[in-house]
Structure 1
C-alpha cells in the first residue's frame, strides 16, 4: 500500500492516550495508524514533539465582509494555522451582513473564497424576525444558530427576548438544530453599576455572575420544555456549573464551553486601564478560574473556544484605559494551545485532556465527523507540538490583523512547530490557501 505522506511519531495522541505510531496519509485522510517504525518514513518527529490532531476552534469572529478592518479570513486563518488550529467555525455577527439568512451566508462565503488557509464552517444567527430563515440556513449547511439575550455590541444583530428564544428553540427542535447562546441576562446587567473609567473592579461589577446564572437557568428551562439542543458559549461564571450538570443529568441536551482567557487570567491581576483584557462576560476571580478548571475535569464544561474577537486598536481605548468605552473582545486564536497547556500542565492534566478540550469535544458538539481526532478515515489535519519548548508572546509577531492581546509578554509552555491540513503542510510563506468551506453533514 502506498501513501502520499508518512509521519513517524514517537509520541502522538490517539484514542485519548499517548502512544507511538506511524501515520500513513492518502488523499488527504488518515489511511493507516500502525506501530512506530513500520512504514518508510517521509517525516520523523523528535522525542520532545507530540503529534496532535488539528485543533477545532468553533468560536471565531472573522468579521469579513463589512468589518474586514477588524479581522479578515486571510489573517485569521493564517493565525489559526500557526496555532495548530485546522478548522474554525465563524460567528454570524460583526460581519455585515450578519449571517441571518441564506443570502448573507452566500455573501460571507464569497468574501472568504480563496482566502482560507484552514477549513472554515459557519454558524447562522437567530435574531428577531428570522424564524422562517432558520431551516433554509440549516439546509445550506450552517452548524447551528447563535443568539444573544442582551445587546450584542452591534446593532445589526439584535437580541432575542424570552418569546423570541422560545420561538427559535421550537423551530430548531423540528429539525434537531443547535442553538448556541451568549447567556447574560439583560435585566440583571441593566440594574448593575454602569462601567465607567479605568477601574477593572468597576467593570467586573457591571457584568456580575448572576447575569450569566439567570440567563443559563432560563435557557435550561426552555430547552427542557422544547427539547431543543443548546450550547452555552464562553462560560465565565463557575457558579452556573451545578445547574448545567443537573440539567444534563435530567435529560436536557445542553453543552458548554469556556475560553482560554478565563482559564489563564484572574481579575485580581488585571491592572486598571488595561482594556486589552476586556471581554464579555468578564474575566473573574482566581477562585472562579480554578472552579472552571474543575468543571473541565468533571466534564461539565465540554470544551474550549477562543472567542477570538479583535478590533482596530482605537476601539480598545488603550489611550484612555476606559473599560466602559472599550470594545469587549480578546484576540487569542493563535495562542490557545500553549495557553491551555501551560495551565493544564501546572494542574496535573495530560496533553490528552487538552486535545479533548480543544479538538475532540468541539468537533463533536458542532457535528464534525472527520475532524478533531487522529483516527482512520479522519482528515489528516495534524499539529506537531513541541511540549518542552516555551515562548514569550510578542503581540507584534502574531498573525491576526491587529497586534493587541492580553497575552503580550506572557511566557507560555509549548510551541506549535508544524501544521498540516489534509496532509498538506501550512507554512507562513504559503501564498496559496488550501482551506475548504465545511457544511453540516458533510464535514
Structure 2
C-alpha cells in the first residue's frame, strides 16, 4: 500500500522545493513535483514544515550490555528518534564486552534485538592484539573500526600504538571498511596552578598538541597505506585543521568529523564546576570554533555527529565539580539538528548544508550512501519533519536519554522536530510520542 508525503518544502537533490514523495514497503518509489498524491492510499501533508532526510548519527555510545546504567538501546534510540535521527551507529565502547571480536559482536546483537526505535549499525573496535579479528568483523557487517591513540578511560579498551595502527592498515588494505581514530596523543603539559574545579585547568591539561601530534602520525601512516581509508573522530582543535587539509590536498584518504558541542559551546562560557561540559578532546575557544566552521564550509571536515557519551550522575562528579575526576562525555543525543541549525543560520549556512553534514555525508561515511541520509528513489523512507523557525528552550523533557545530565539544558534553540519516520513508519511525533520499537540492525557487508 503506497503512501504519500507532501510538503511545500522537501529537500531533494540539495534543493528545498515543493514535492510529493511516494513510499511503498518502506522505500521511496517516486518523487513528484508539487502536490500529486495519485495512487496513494495514505497521505501525510506536512505543508509549512520542511521534510528532510533522517539524520545518520555516526558516533553514539549506547553502552549496552555491561554499562546499561549509563545508557541503553531502548533509551538511546528513543532519544535519537525524538531528534529526527533515523540511523545510529553504535561505538564499540563503553559496552562490556567491547565490539572487538565476533563473539563480542554476537553479545552486542543479542542485547540490541527488539529494543531499537531507529535503525542501528555497529562500529568494531581496534585494540592491541585483535588484528586477526578485523576481516571477520568486516564480513559480519560492522561499518568500520575505532581505535584510541590515548587512554580511552575504560580498561577493556586499551589504546593502540602507531605500530598497531600500521599493522591494522596493512591488514585492511582494500577491504570495504574505514579505520577511525580518537586522535589525541599524550604530550608534555605545562604545570597549571588553577584549581581542578576550573575549566581552565582541564583545558590546559588537554592542549592542542595532543591533537596535532596525533594528526601528524595519522597522515604519515596514511601515506604509507593509501589503500585504507581513515577517519578522524570528534576533531576539536583548529591547529589540527591545516594538517588535515594538507593531507587531503596530497590525495590521502582521510576524512574527519566534528561534534555539535564543539560548534555550539565556547570555552569562555563554561563555568567553574561545570563538569557536564567535559569531553575529550575539550571544547575550545570562540576563535577555535570559528576555524571549525570554516573547515566545514570548505569540506575539510565533512560530518557533524553527537558523540553522545553519557554516564551516571555520580561519574560526572557535579557535586564536587572536579574536571579531572569527572567522566568525559557530553550528552545530547536527539538535540543535534536544532543545535546545529541554531548556529548555522547565524553564520549564513542553509538547512540543506546542515542536512548534508548530518545525513548524506554521515551515510557515506558509514557505507550507506544511497540508502540512508537522502530523499531519493530507492532510498529508505527515513524522514524528519522540521519546523525550522519554531524556537524552544531545552528542558528536562527534551532530554530523552537515560541520565538527564546535559550542558544543553536551558539552551535557547531554533527549530523543532515534529515527527520522525523510519522506513515510512512514524516512530515519533511531538503530539503522540513514540511507537513501539521496530528498528532494524544493519549488518550487511559494506560495498565501499
Structure 1 stretch displaced more, 200-209 or 244-253: 244-253
Query: What is residue 383 of structure 1 aligned with on the other side?
Result: 384
Which of 2, 5, 9 lines up with 2:3 in the alignment? Answer: 5
Q: Is the 8 A contact 1:367 1:440 kept in 2?
A: no
- 1:146/1:180 contact within 8 Å kept: yes
Query: Per-residue deviation at 1:439?
Result: 2.2
Mean Cα deviation higher: 428-437 or 366-375: 428-437
Aligned residue number for residue 146 of structure 2: 146
Cα distance, 1:175 vs structure 2: 2.0
Aligned residue in 2 for 1:202? 201
Contact kept? 2:6, 2:47, Cα under 8 Å: no
| Equivalence for 2:221 | 222
Gaps in structure 1 of 5+ consecutive residues: none
For the 8 Å contact 2:121–2:142, the answer to whether it is kept is yes
Would the alpha carbon gap of residues 23 and 315 (structure 1) be closer, same or farther in structure 2, given more than 3 Å must change?
Answer: same
SS of residue matched to 1:186: coil
Match of 1:31 among 29, 32, 42: 29
Q: 1:204-249, CA deviations, whole angstroms, 9 ceiling, x for partnerless residues? A: 0001011101101100110110122100000000121122111112
Q: Residues of 1 paired with 2:444 and 2:178: CA distance?
A: 11
Compared with structure 1, are the counterparts of its residues 67 and 30 closer, same or farther at alpha carbon in structure 2 (3 Å cutoff)? Answer: same
| TM-score (norm: length of structure 2) | 0.95
Aligned residue in 1 for 2:443: 439
How many angstroms does 1:178 deviate by?
A: 1.1
What pairs up with 1:317-332 in 2 under 5 angstroms? 317-332=317-332
Query: Does structure 2 retain, via aligned residues, the 8 Å contact 1:196–1:203?
Result: no
CA distance in 1, matches of 2:30, 2:188: 54
Corresponding residue of 1:124: 124
- Residue 119 (structure 2) pairs with residue 115 (structure 1): no
Residues 195 and 147 of structure 1: is their aligned pair in 2 closer, same or farther, counting only changes over 3 Å? farther
Q: Which secondary structure state, in structure 1, belongs to the residue aligned with residue 35 of structure 2?
A: coil
Aligned partners of 1:195 and 1:206 also within 8 Å: no
Please tell me whether residue 52 in structure 1 is matched to residue 52 in structure 2: yes
> What CA RMSD, in Å, does the superposition of the two structures yield over aligned residues?
1.5
Distance 1:291-1:442 versus aligned 2 partners, 3 A rule? closer
State the partner residue of 1:373: 374
Q: Is the 8 A contact 1:195 1:323 kept in 2?
A: no
Distance 2:188 2:333 in 1: 30
Distance 1:193 1:254, change over 3 A: farther
Matches within 5 A, 1:401-412: 401-412=402-413
The answer to whether the 8 A contact 1:192-1:208 is kept is: no
The Cα of 1:4 is off from its aligned counterpart by 2.4
Structure 1 contact 176–229 (Cα < 8 Å) conserved: no
Q: CA separation in 1, counterparts of 2:196 and 2:242?
A: 34
1:6–1:192 distance in 2 versus 1, CA, 3 Å: farther
2:172 alignment partner, SS class? helix
Cα offset for 1:187? Answer: 3.4
Mapped to 1, the partners of 2:51 and 2:174 lie a distance apart of 40
CA contact (8 A) 2:194 2:200 kept: no
Task: Give yes or no for the alignment of 1:316 onto 2:316.
Answer: yes
2:186 aligns with: 186
Aligned runs of 1:15-414 on 2, under 5 Å?
15-40=13-38, 42-47=43-48, 49-188=49-188, 197-227=196-226, 228-369=228-369, 370-414=371-415
Seen in structure 2, the aligned counterparts of structure 1 residues 13 and 6 have a Cα distance that, compared at 3 Å, is same
**Partners of 1:128 and 1:73 in 2: how far apart?**
27
Moved more, 100-109 or 419-428: 419-428
Contact residue 393 and residue 411 of structure 2 kept, 8 A: yes
**3-state SS, counterpart of residue 110 of structure 2:** helix
Structure 2: gaps spanning 5 or more residues: none
Higher mean C-alpha displacement, 80-89 vs 163-172:
163-172
Deviation of 1:46 after TM superposition, in Å, equals 2.7
Q: 1:302 touches 1:361 (CA, 8 Å); kept in 2?
A: yes
Is the 8 Å Cα contact of residues 27 and 379 (structure 2) preserved in structure 1? yes
The alignment partner of 1:243 has SS state of helix
In the TM superposition, residue 431 of structure 1 has moved relative to its aligned partner by 5.4
Q: Does the 8 Å CA contact 2:50/2:387 hold for their aligned counterparts? A: yes
Q: Distance in 1 between matches of 2:94 and 2:279?
A: 15
Q: How far apart, in 2, do the equivalents of 1:350 and 1:397 lie? A: 25
1-side partners of 2:197 and 2:64: how far apart? 31
Off by >3 Å, runs of 4+ in structure 1: 191-196, 428-431, 440-443
Deviation at 1:17, TM superposition (A): 1.3
Structure 2 equivalent of residue 419 of structure 1:
420
SS at match of 1:180: strand
Structure 1 Cα separation of the partners of residues 137 and 176 of structure 2? 13
CA gap of 1:192–1:87, structure 2 versus 1, over 3 A, is: farther
Change (3 A) 1:112 1:192: farther
* Distance in structure 2 (CA, Å) of the matches to 1:194 and 1:97: 39
